[in-house]
């Protein structure tokens, strides 16, 4: 359900949040949800307007934080915390959704699987 922290061998072992999945029996792979969320244009290769979708959802999340700030001035002092919590939760959901979009693309075809590996967003997890 949640993203798992895994070392990304493509980036020198840097820890990143990843979506884990079984591509073939006995082999577990990880998709770097953090990189796909930071660079949503990488997902445009696997579906039309994926980059725009994630940028728009992130803008909505930051808008919720802004509305919380405005609510602090106009409604009550604690509204900022509500807006901040909504922003953080939505950004976490967007990050996971970006990783799942990459996972779905990798499962869809072998070419997408190879392309994600070339981008440094997919690797084999050793247990």
Mean predicted confidence (pLDDT) in 3-10: 91
What's the CA gap between 66 and 14, in Å, rounded? Answer: 32
Cα angle: 24, vertex 105, 10; to 5 degrees? 75
Supply 61's token pair: 């999340």
Q: What confidence tens digit (pLDDT) does each residue in 74-109 have?
A: 999 999 999 999 999 999 999 999 999 999 999 999
pTM (two decimals): 0.88
Q: Is residue 60 scored above 70 in pLDDT?
A: yes
Q: Is residue 127 scored above 80 in pLDDT?
A: no
CB distance 40 to 56 below 8 Å: no
Tokens 């997919």 — which residue?
Answer: 122
Supply 75's token pair: 């409604």
Q: Return mean pLDDT, the chain.
A: 92
Mean predicted confidence (pLDDT) in 31-36: 94
Residue 13 DSSP SS3: coil
Q: Is residue 15 scored above 80 in pLDDT?
A: yes
Largest Cα span, the chain: 56
């Amino acid at each position: 359900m949640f993203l798992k922290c895994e070392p990304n061998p493509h980036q020198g072992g840097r820890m990143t949040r990843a979506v884990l999945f079984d591509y073939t029996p006995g082999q577990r792979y990880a998709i770097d949800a953090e990189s796909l969320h930071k660079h949503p244009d990488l997902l445009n290769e696997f579906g039309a307007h994926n980059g725009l979708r994630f940028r728009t959802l992130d803008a909505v999340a930051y808008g919720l934080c802004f509305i919380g700030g405005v609510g602090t001035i106009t409604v009550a002092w604690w509204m900022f915390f509500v807006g901040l919590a909504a922003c953080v939760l939505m950004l976490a959901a967007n990050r996971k959704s970006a990783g799942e979009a990459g996972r779905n693309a990798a499962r869809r075809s072998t070419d997408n699987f190879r392309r994600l590996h070339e981008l440094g967003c997919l690797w084999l997890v050793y247990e």
